[in-house]
Structure 1
Amino acid sequence: MACAQEDRLMTAAIDFGTTYSGYCFSFRHDFENDPLKVSANTWTAGTAGLVSLKTPTTVLLDSNQELVAFGYEAEDRYAELAEDEEHAEYYYFRRFKMTLFQSSSRLTRDTMLKDMAGGKQVKAIKVFAHAIRYLKDHMLNTLEQRGAGIKAKDINWVLTVPAIWEDPAKQFMREAAEEAGISRNQLMIALEPEAASLFCKYLPIEKLQGSEGGIGAFKPGSRYLVLDAGGGTVDITVHEVQFNGTLKELDKASGGAWGGTRVDESFKEMLEEIVGGGMLEEFALSHTADYIDLFRDFETKKRNVKDDSPGKITLRIPITLQELYEERGEGEIKKKIRQTKYKDDLTWVGDRLRIDKPRFVELFSAACDGMVDHVKKLLKSPKVRGTNNILMVGGFSESPLLQKRIREEFPSCRVIIPQEAGLAVLKGAVIFGHQPATIAARISKYTYGISTNTKFDRSKHPMSKLKMVEGKEKCKDVFDKHVSIGQLLEIDDVQSEKSYWPLYSNQTQVSLPVYTSTIEDPSFVDEPECSYLGKLTVDIPKHGSDKEVSSSFIFGGTELKVQAVVKSTGETTSANFDFLEGEP
């Protein structure tokens, strides 16, 4: 795979974020001279004039579920439609990436997304594909306008995903990208904190805030924790620099839903306590443009507030909210504030809401507390002993409040923040596309194995597992382990070749259920620590009596792969994973 990619002229990365998305690219010859020469696009919000290197992950579809607009344009266009009461037939989606992380049901190709307007449903993979296709086409159009002379076949594409995502979510993103027109052999999946780590590895020391005294943060043998705080998720991994310059993961990736949107949720909860949840929802539907502007203004204040900023934070509140509140016979909002727990912290004057700084800072508490508690627990692990560097990346890491909190909570650690923390993942993903082998080893998050049938042993197998197959006693549901939780896996490491036979003599294909476990040595796949992951399908010989097929899982990369060989002939046979099917 690496050789084929090196032959292409350009590498482009798409960072599909919870709140914001964007793309970057670099030419192969530029990378060889300067790995940091990476181009990014600039986006502008029409109404607020907010300039950003990313655009909101917002999708607007028409009644035929075709793309109308994406990003800032989608927000503004939907607001116009809503103001004119012409939005009913449209589908509006924003911040939908977290569906792949927080969904209570199993992720499949048929997983549905509810739109934010009327709760109408569209297949999730279709919405994701629309977003990826838009970013891909936008970049290709940008290159064409520059006269770069680059064709689609000349590009390696890299798509970023959180490291804490499971295998089905990674496969889902890959298939969405393929539906968006990106060829399978031109696509790589990059893990977000790893990409950011690579970016910082190449940065000159003066662009790493916290690396004072000329001491390199990335010398061989040094260990550092990557805190990738994005919009939705916080991804945490720990790396050790090897003597050949590659990076080794010391503990399995972890994290949670403590990103910047958690602060937005706290702000929304505060408004709901004042005007009521139903009122705020009605305001969002009837005055959509004003609702969007309100949260864009909050976003600006959220990004820039410091602990030593002036005593109050002022937000512009659309007058239409007050008018709607009065129309519903609720009176004045400023009087309602005096009846709440915020009476000493909030004042409403005209179209301005003034929030005392301590109360505004409190909006960050839930997000900050979650990640601080997790990092404290992680740093106590023997696996990461000696880690005294924290590398903060991701858009939320640009928050001065979060930076201050991390420094206060971890005084013995050197906290390092790159100048472009919000672009570290995106630019690092481009570097990863050029040099995927830089991450040399990763830790397995689970024990992986196959559900299989073995010869029944009455001395050790429970009778409940007895199964008769063509007159023979078999033990069903056996967990046939391929790799253990916590195991260090080198890139493209072929693990534990295992042989499998068809259960019935006339089979030409065998479907093997794949399971994961949170313990090291499970016996059966129906133990409480085990979860169904998907299926492995292997073609087997149509002719001959020896139908033994050996399969090997290939770990260490960002995605799980498999290879299978017919034992009697030594020929490679077709084998593939499917993690997006329902339960067996």
Structure 2
Amino acid sequence: MPSQPPSNDPQAPANPPSFYTKHDAPRYGTVALPCNIQFHRSPIAPLQLLQQHTPALQLATISKSVFIIAIDFSTSHSGYCFSLTSSTDQIRQTPTCILFNQERKFKKFGYDAVMKYKSLPHGKADNWYFFQDFKMKLYNTVGGTVTLKAINGKMLPALTIFSQSPCYLKERALNTIQEAYFQTVCSQEEITWFITVPVTWSAAARQFMQLEAKEAKAGVIPFPQIIFGDFPQHLNNLYAVVYPGGTIDIMVHEIQENRLLKELHKATGGGWEGNSVDENFTDCLKKIFNDGVWDEYVQSHPSELRHMMYNFSIQKCLTGRDAIYIHCYYNLTRVAEHKKDISHFFKNEEGAVWCDGMIMITYKKMKSFFYYRIKNIIRGRFLTSFASSIILRDAIRQAFSKKYHILCPMEVQVAIAKGAVLFGVSPHVIASRVSAWTYGIAVSEKFDASIHPFCKQRVSKADGFVYCMDLFKKLVGIEEAVNINEVVHYDFYPTEPDQTEVCFSFYCTEKQDAQYIDEEGLEKLGSGTVPMPDTKLGRKRQLKLDIKFGLTEFKATCTDITSKQSWAIVINFLAV
């Protein structure tokens, strides 16, 4: 890439890239952050795209808010946690379920949704929309027009479902604050909002959650790296496995002398087996209640089934090593006894026993439900600070206790929301992060026949300038450490002398570097367009791109040196 604007060489073009780059851009500097929405729980997210002239939001202003409110939108349970910036946090949780009526209007969320749906007459329930555990749908599928299926098979747009969830939690949080602080009414400027998202989610999924937050008229946060307060003085490294239910997130930090955290390895994890423990339990019940009994029950009594699964979700997190008892609801008993005495269904199922209206699951049988989940966690070779299940904790201790100190924080179920609030109060507690991918942009440069393939050659129609298109310009490498306030500057020039806008196309790869954007393993993240209305200087017009690394996502501004105008750049991941 040339260190000076390209000279006017002859020939004619096709589909020119938008700009050229310089080799000798300086590495460090300062830049305002023009984004007013926050995200959490990402290693290093790519740039976000959205052109806007928004006031600069300095990270330091977060801690000046009167209230920090975190919304933990989890797979099985969701909740909010709030704190005065100088006070203790308050936490509320509810199941992640949502209910819409036949007119597709939001009615209830959480326990209220479960109880309302259960109370509906059977015929009416068929026309309503009840969704549960829907967050995991974003893990592999995302897009601006995605639809999700309710338990009765009816479909609704995903954005409608997801947007109402934080909106409900937002209103509940504000109402709780008003009640707790003598009807205090806070303006939006006095509140910083955080919405947590899994560290392993794609950029598109994170942006989908950002759209959701805008629908709810609240700010958003990608789930921050979790902070558990003071660490034991002798610990140097902290390995954390966060298991909220649907996904597992794994992080590795070094505790520095100043007690700040330095990320040592890119965050990893995934939706390993999804809600596999619950699925194994339902598979067991289906095997017990054979001969079509279970299928009929699931089809005819979904709200009652949901109550049974809530009962199981509580029991599976108990800290004892005893058998558990699951209440067998009336309709399951009735459907089963149409076939035969219900106790006869249990004769061939080891570890499950009929016990006077209850289903007893032995501890050994319960452990078998966790087998694949535990196997995947231990295979990852990381230590833990996560769920309250004694089965999971025993497995982790057995695998790692001889080599590592194992910590399990108090109230692990709400550690994610607490961490988000703590991050809001002290955003600089993470001193540096590690990039999960190699990120770069598509550029062009003067064609060199000795290194560039002729299929990449293009010629300008304006003056015959010959250039190579589709080159990959690396911005940051995979597993490269970036400091919280690090800024990188890049200079670009338009490809055509008369073009009035520049398109930045962003890519990522797991490779250390790439030469061209169409190589195997490169994925387009999205693109953003910046106007350059003044064409008097032709190709000599300079664009300055400033990218700030180390936050929970990249922040970038682009400045047209000719017009002195600056724009925030946010990638439209959903348009790819």
Question: TM-score scaled by structure 2?
Answer: 0.83
Asked if 2 retains the 8 angstrom alpha-carbon contact of 1:563 and 1:572, the reply is: no
Taking the aligned partners of 1:149 and 1:515, their CA distance within structure 2 comes to: 46
Say which of 30, 53, 66 aligns to 2:105: 66
In the alignment, does 2:149 pair up with 1:114?
yes
- 2:556 partner amino acid: V
Say which of 2, 6, 9 aligns to 2:66: 9
Say which of 441, 451, 458 aligns to 2:449: 458
Say which of 556, 569, 575 aligns to 1:576: 569
> For residues 8 and 278 of structure 1, do their structure 2 counterparts lie closer, same or farther at Cα, with a shift above 3 Å needed?
farther
Asked if 1 retains the 8 angstrom alpha-carbon contact of 2:289 and 2:336, the reply is: yes
Say which of 28, 40, 45 aligns to 2:91: 40
> For residues 305 and 223 of structure 1, do their structure 2 counterparts lie closer, same or farther at Cα, with a shift above 3 Å needed?
closer
> For residues 94 and 218 of structure 1, do their structure 2 counterparts lie closer, same or farther at Cα, with a shift above 3 Å needed?
farther
After superposition, give the CA deviation of every residue in 1:128-180 in whole Å (9 maximum; x if it has no partner).
11000000001111222332413232211111122222222222222211210
Asked if 2 retains the 8 angstrom alpha-carbon contact of 1:440 and 1:491, the reply is: yes
Matches within 5 A, 1:368-387: 368-374=374-380, 376=381
In the alignment, does 2:550 pair up with 1:493?
no
After superposition, give the CA deviation of every residue in 1:414-467 in whole Å (9 maximum; x if it has no partner).
111112111111112111111111111100000001122322222122233233
Taking the aligned partners of 1:122 and 1:440, their CA distance within structure 2 comes to: 42
2:125 is paired with a residue of what secondary structure?
coil
Say which of 303, 322, 326 aligns to 1:315: 326
Asked if 2 retains the 8 angstrom alpha-carbon contact of 1:167 and 1:560, the reply is: no
Of the structure 1 ranges 84-93 and 12-21, higher mean CA displacement relative to structure 2 is found in: 84-93
In the alignment, does 2:472 pair up with 1:434?
no
Taking the aligned partners of 2:532 and 2:295, their CA distance within structure 1 comes to: 57
1:235 is paired with a residue of what secondary structure?
strand
1:416 is paired with a residue of what secondary structure?
coil
In the alignment, does 2:447 pair up with 1:415?
no
Taking the aligned partners of 2:291 and 2:272, their CA distance within structure 1 comes to: 23
Matches within 5 A, 1:145-164: 145-146=179-180, 147-153=182-188, 154-164=190-200
Query: Which residue is 1:27 aligned to?
Result: 84
2:200 is paired with a residue of what secondary structure?
coil
Taking the aligned partners of 2:246 and 2:211, their CA distance within structure 1 comes to: 22
> For residues 492 and 65 of structure 1, do their structure 2 counterparts lie closer, same or farther at Cα, with a shift above 3 Å needed?
farther
Asked if 1 retains the 8 angstrom alpha-carbon contact of 2:534 and 2:562, the reply is: no
Asked if 1 retains the 8 angstrom alpha-carbon contact of 2:208 and 2:574, the reply is: no
In the alignment, does 2:115 pair up with 1:57?
no
* Matched length: 512
Taking the aligned partners of 1:463 and 1:275, their CA distance within structure 2 comes to: 67
Asked if 2 retains the 8 angstrom alpha-carbon contact of 1:224 and 1:391, the reply is: no
Asked if 1 retains the 8 angstrom alpha-carbon contact of 2:497 and 2:535, the reply is: no
In the alignment, does 2:468 pair up with 1:475?
yes
Query: Which residue is 1:345 aligned to?
Result: 351
> For residues 445 and 320 of structure 1, do their structure 2 counterparts lie closer, same or farther at Cα, with a shift above 3 Å needed?
same
Taking the aligned partners of 1:97 and 1:89, their CA distance within structure 2 comes to: 22
2:449 is paired with a residue of what secondary structure?
coil
Say which of 500, 510, 522 aligns to 1:508: 500
4+ residue runs of structure 1 moved beyond 6 angstroms? none
Asked if 2 retains the 8 angstrom alpha-carbon contact of 1:539 and 1:573, the reply is: no
> For residues 365 and 582 of structure 1, do their structure 2 counterparts lie closer, same or farther at Cα, with a shift above 3 Å needed?
same
Asked if 1 retains the 8 angstrom alpha-carbon contact of 2:471 and 2:515, the reply is: yes
Query: Which residue is 1:234 aligned to?
Result: 248
| CA shift for structure 1 position 522 | 0.9
Query: Which residue is 2:523 aligned to?
Result: 531
Taking the aligned partners of 2:222 and 2:257, their CA distance within structure 1 comes to: 23
| CA shift for structure 1 position 59 | 0.8
1:97 is paired with a residue of what secondary structure?
helix
> For residues 78 and 549 of structure 1, do their structure 2 counterparts lie closer, same or farther at Cα, with a shift above 3 Å needed?
same
> For residues 345 and 9 of structure 1, do their structure 2 counterparts lie closer, same or farther at Cα, with a shift above 3 Å needed?
closer
Query: Which residue is 2:127 aligned to?
Result: 89
- 1:532 partner amino acid: K
| CA shift for structure 1 position 326 | 5.1
> For residues 410 and 277 of structure 1, do their structure 2 counterparts lie closer, same or farther at Cα, with a shift above 3 Å needed?
farther
In the alignment, does 2:542 pair up with 1:548?
yes
After superposition, give the CA deviation of every residue in 1:193-220 in whole Å (9 maximum; x if it has no partner).
x13xx2x224xxxxxxxxxxxxx5255x
Asked if 1 retains the 8 angstrom alpha-carbon contact of 2:63 and 2:424, the reply is: no
Say which of 361, 369, 372 aligns to 1:363: 369
Taking the aligned partners of 1:468 and 1:86, their CA distance within structure 2 comes to: 65
- 2:519 partner amino acid: E
Q: Where is the strand percentage greater, Structure 1 or Structure 2? A: 1
Taking the aligned partners of 2:324 and 2:373, their CA distance within structure 1 comes to: 19
Taking the aligned partners of 2:574 and 2:360, their CA distance within structure 1 comes to: 51
Taking the aligned partners of 1:29 and 1:338, their CA distance within structure 2 comes to: 59
Asked if 2 retains the 8 angstrom alpha-carbon contact of 1:18 and 1:96, the reply is: yes
Q: Where is the helix percentage greater, Structure 1 or Structure 2? A: 1
Identity of aligned residues (%): 29
Asked if 2 retains the 8 angstrom alpha-carbon contact of 1:493 and 1:556, the reply is: yes
- Flag structure 2 segments of 5+ consecutive residues without an equivalent: 1-57
- 1:457 partner amino acid: D
Query: Which residue is 2:223 aligned to?
Result: 191
Taking the aligned partners of 1:276 and 1:513, their CA distance within structure 2 comes to: 54
> For residues 175 and 278 of structure 1, do their structure 2 counterparts lie closer, same or farther at Cα, with a shift above 3 Å needed?
farther
Taking the aligned partners of 1:188 and 1:86, their CA distance within structure 2 comes to: 36
2:163 is paired with a residue of what secondary structure?
helix
2:229 is paired with a residue of what secondary structure?
helix
| CA shift for structure 1 position 391 | 4.5
Structure of greater relative contact order (alpha carbons < 8 Å, 6+ residues apart):
2
Asked if 1 retains the 8 angstrom alpha-carbon contact of 2:456 and 2:468, the reply is: yes
> For residues 528 and 279 of structure 1, do their structure 2 counterparts lie closer, same or farther at Cα, with a shift above 3 Å needed?
farther
> For residues 457 and 482 of structure 1, do their structure 2 counterparts lie closer, same or farther at Cα, with a shift above 3 Å needed?
same
After superposition, give the CA deviation of every residue in 1:283-324 in whole Å (9 maximum; x if it has no partner).
2342233212211221222111634x2xx4332222422432
Query: Which residue is 2:75 aligned to?
Result: 18
After superposition, give the CA deviation of every residue in 1:324-368 in whole Å (9 maximum; x if it has no partner).
2455xx5455445445xx3x3333355322233212210011111
Q: CA RMSD in A?
A: 2.3
- Flag structure 1 segments of 5+ consecutive residues without an equivalent: 31-36, 42-53, 203-215, 379-389
> For residues 409 and 505 of structure 1, do their structure 2 counterparts lie closer, same or farther at Cα, with a shift above 3 Å needed?
same
> For residues 269 and 66 of structure 1, do their structure 2 counterparts lie closer, same or farther at Cα, with a shift above 3 Å needed?
same
Query: Which residue is 1:266 aligned to?
Result: 280
In the alignment, does 2:551 pair up with 1:557?
yes
Matches within 5 A, 1:164-175: 164-175=200-211
Say which of 257, 262, 279 aligns to 1:248: 262
Taking the aligned partners of 1:398 and 1:277, their CA distance within structure 2 comes to: 36
Query: Which residue is 2:171 aligned to?
Result: 137
2:65 is paired with a residue of what secondary structure?
coil
1:475 is paired with a residue of what secondary structure?
strand
1:98 is paired with a residue of what secondary structure?
helix
> For residues 277 and 167 of structure 1, do their structure 2 counterparts lie closer, same or farther at Cα, with a shift above 3 Å needed?
farther
Asked if 2 retains the 8 angstrom alpha-carbon contact of 1:170 and 1:559, the reply is: no
